[in-house]
Structure 1
Amino acid sequence: MAVLRVKLTKSRRDKLAQVLWILNWVSVVTGVILFGLGLFLKVEINKRWELMAERDVHYVPNMLIAVGLVACAINFLGGKICYDCADNAKFLRWKLILLPYMVCTFFFTFSVLAGALLCYGMRGELEDALSLGLAQAMRFYKDTDTPGRCFLKRTVDLLQIEFQCCGNAGYKDWFYVQWVSNRYLDMSQKEVVDRLRSNVEGRYLVDGVPFSCCNTFSPRPCIQEQINNATAHYNYEPQTEELNLWMRGCRQALLDYYTHIMQSIGLTVLITWLFELSVLTGVRYLQTSLENVLKQGDPDSESEGWLLENSLAETARSNLNIIKNLGKCNQIDTADNGDPNINVPSSAPSTANYGPDNVPPKETTKES
C-alpha cells in the first residue's frame, strides 16, 4: 500500500511543477546564503586564530561552504527538471535521471541537517581551543621583540578592550605568568632580583595586570598593580572593588560570542533543511504522478502520486533483500565445503560396488 497517496489532475500537476520550479530557484538563493554563512564563520575564526590552539575547528565552516555550493548546483538542476516536467514529452528526457537525482537530493538534505547539528555541537571543541590558545598567548605576551610573537601583546590588549574581559578564566590568571618583558626590569633593584630568584623558573611574577584589563566604568583610577595589597592604595579593599577590573575571562567572552554566531547559523541551516525537505517531497509527488500518467497513456488523465510505493516496512525489506542478493553474487558455490580446485576424474571406479573387504572385483577376460 502506497504511503501518503494523493490524486493529481493535469492542472494540479502543472501548478505543482511551476511552484516547484520557483521553490528550487529560492533554494538556490538559500544555497548562496549557506555559502555566505560558512564564509563569514571562517573569517570570524581566522580573525582570532592566533588566540586558539591548533584544533580542527574549521570543519564546520568548510562543510557549510561545501553544502552551499552543492545546494546551488542541485537546486539549479531541480529547477530545470521541474520546468520541463510541465510538458510530458520533455519529462521523458528526465525520466531516467529523476530517480538518481531524488536519491542524491535525499542524502544531501541530511548533510544539511548534519551541518546544523555541527553548529550546535562545536562549542566543546571551541572552548578547548580557546582555553589552550589564550593561555599560550598570555605566556608570550611579553615577547614583543621575538619574531612571530611580537603581535600577541597588541592582539591580547585589543581583545580585552573590545570584549571587556581579562585573562583566560579571570584577571587572576595574569598573576601566574610573566607578562612584563625583561628589558623593562631594573636588575639593579634588589626587589626585582629577589623576585626573580624566588621563582623556580626564574619568572618575574607580580599581582598585577595589563592596562587593558582596567574597567572603563570604574569611578576611580584603575589599580592594576599590587591588586591584593590593601595597604598599597588609599581607601582600597580588593574584595569589594569589582568595578576596578573586568571580572569576566576572555575565554568565556569569546565562547559566548562564537556560540551566538553558531546558534544563529544553526537555526538558519535548520530552516533551510526543512525547506529543502519540503521541496524534495513535492518533487517526489510530481515524479510518481507523471510516471503513472505514462503508464496510463493519457497525458490529460488523473493520476496518483505517493512518497513510497509500498509501506515503510515493505520498502525496507525489499531494499534489504537487494543488498543480500548483491552479496550472494560474490559467493562461490562449493560442494561439501571442499576445495574447488580439486578435479575428480569421471572414470574413477565407484566404491559403491566394492566387496565387504573393500577390494575391487577382478576383471574377467574371455578365453579364446
Structure 2
Amino acid sequence: MAVLKVKFSQKRRVKLAQGLWLMNWCSVLTGILLFGLGIYIKIEFRKQSEVMANAESHFVPNSLILMGTVACGLNAFTGKICYDSLDPAKYVKWKLLLKPYLMLCILFNIFMFVIAILCFVTRGPLESTLAHGLKNAMRFYKDTDTPGKCFMKKTIDLLQIEFNCCGNNGFRDWFEVQWVSNRYLDFSSKEVKDRIKSNVDGKFLIDGVPFSCCNPSSPRPCIQHQVTNNSAHYSYDYQTEELNLWSQGCREALLHYYTGMMSSIGIVVFLIWIHEMTVMVGLRYLHTSLENIANPEDPECESEGWLLEKSVKETLKSLLESVKSFGKLNQVEAEGGEESRTTPAVSTVS
C-alpha cells in the first residue's frame, strides 16, 4: 500500500513542476549561501589558528563549502528536470535517471542534517582545541626572537584586547608560565636569581600579567605586576578588591563567540535542510505522478503520486534485503577471485 497517495490532474502536475522549478533556483541561491557561510567560518577560525591545537575544527566549514557547491549543481539539475517534465518528449530521457538521482538527494539531505546538528554540538571539540592551543601559545609569548614564534606575543595581546580576556582560564594562568624573555632579565640581580632557583624548571615566574590583560574601564591605573602583593600598592587588597584586569579567560571568551556563531549558522543550515527536503518530496510526487499516467497518449488524464510505493515497514525490509544481497554478491566475487589466484596451474608431462 502506497504511503501519502495524492491524485494529480494535468493542471496540478503543471503547477507542481513550475513550483519545483522556482524552488530549485531558490535552492541554488541557498547553496551559494552555504558556500559563503563555510568560507566565513573558515576565515574566522584562521584568524585564531595560532591558538587552536588542531585542524579538526575546520571539518564543519569545509563540509559547508562542499555542501554549497553540491547544492548548486544538484538543484540546477533538478530545475532542468522539472522544466523538461512539462514536455513529455523531453521528460522521457530523464526517466531512468530519476530513481538513482532521488537516492543521491536523500544522501545529500542526510549529510546536511548531520552538519546542521554538528553546528550545535561543536562546543566540546572547540573547548578542547582552544584549551590546548591557548596553553601552548602562552608558553611562546616570550619567544619574540625565535623564528616561527616571534608573532605569538602580538597574537596573544591582540586576542586579549579584542575579546576582553586574560590567560587561558583566567589571569592566574600567567603566574604559571614565564612570559618575560630572558633577553630582558638582569641575571646579576638577586631577585631574578632567587626566582629562577626557586623554580624546579629554572623559569622566571612572577605574579604579573601582560599589559593586554588590563581593563581600560577601571578607574585605577593598571596593576599588572605584583598582583598578589598587597603591600606593593597603596590601599590595595587583591582578595577583596575588584581587580582592574579582565576576569574572563580567553578560552571561555572565544568559546562563547564561536558557539554563538555556529549556533546561528546551524539554524540557517537547518532551515535550508527543510527547504531541500520539501523540494525532494515534491520531486518524488512529480516523478510518481508522471510515471503513473494510465494513457501516455492522453497527458490530460489524472494520475496518482505517492511518497513511498509500499509501507514504511515493507520499504525498510526491501532496502535491507537489497543491502544484504549486495553484500553477498561482493563476498562471492571476492571468494571467486581469491580461489582463482590460489588454484595452482596443472602441467602435463608427456
TM-score, length-normalised on structure 2? Answer: 0.92
Query: Secondary structure at 2:235's aligned position in 1?
Result: coil
Query: Secondary structure at 1:54's aligned position in 2?
Result: coil
- The corresponding residue for 2:240 is 240
Comparing 22-31 and 320-329, the one that deviates more? 320-329
For 2:169, the aligned partner's letter is A
Q: Distance in 1 between matches of 2:276 and 2:327?
A: 34
Query: Secondary structure at 1:36's aligned position in 2?
Result: helix
Q: Distance in 2 between matches of 1:269 and 1:139?
A: 38
TM-score, length-normalised on structure 1? Answer: 0.87
- The corresponding residue for 1:126 is 126
Change (3 A) 1:130 1:296: same
For 2:31, the aligned partner's letter is G
Q: Distance in 2 between matches of 1:58 and 1:45?
A: 8
Unaligned runs of 5+ residues in structure 2 are 334-342, 344-350
Are 2:294 and 2:303, in contact at CA under 8 Å, matched by a contact in 1?
no
- The corresponding residue for 2:116 is 116
- The corresponding residue for 1:184 is 184
The structure that is helix-richer by fraction is 2
Question: How far off its partner does 1:295 sit?
Answer: 5.3
Change (3 A) 1:321 1:167: closer
| Matched positions, count | 333
- The corresponding residue for 1:311 is 311
Alignment of 1:122-201 (within 5 A): 122-201=122-201
Deviations 1:242-291 (A, max 9, x none): 24100000000011111111111111111111110000011111100000
Are 2:294 and 2:301, in contact at CA under 8 Å, matched by a contact in 1?
no
Question: How far off its partner does 1:68 sit?
Answer: 0.7
Are 2:288 and 2:304, in contact at CA under 8 Å, matched by a contact in 1?
yes
- The corresponding residue for 1:42 is 42
Question: How far off its partner does 1:326 sit?
Answer: 4.5
Report the aligned-residue RMSD. Answer: 1.6
- The corresponding residue for 1:344 is none
Are 1:217 and 1:243, in contact at CA under 8 Å, matched by a contact in 2?
no
Query: Secondary structure at 2:309's aligned position in 1?
Result: coil
Deviations 1:310-364 (A, max 9, x none): 11112222333344444566659xxxxxxxx9xxxxxxxxxxxxxxxxxxxxxxx
Q: Which has the larger radius of gyration?
A: 1
Alignment of 1:172-321 (within 5 A): 172-293=172-293, 297-321=297-321
Change (3 A) 1:192 1:321: closer
Query: Secondary structure at 2:126's aligned position in 1?
Result: helix
For 1:235, the aligned partner's letter is S
- The corresponding residue for 2:10 is 10
Query: Secondary structure at 1:188's aligned position in 2?
Result: coil
Query: Secondary structure at 1:57's aligned position in 2?
Result: helix
For 2:284, the aligned partner's letter is R
Unaligned runs of 5+ residues in structure 1 are 333-340, 342-368
Are 2:196 and 2:202, in contact at CA under 8 Å, matched by a contact in 1?
yes
Q: Distance in 2 between matches of 1:328 and 1:193?
A: 75
Question: How far off its partner does 1:240 sit?
Answer: 2.7
Change (3 A) 1:151 1:326: closer
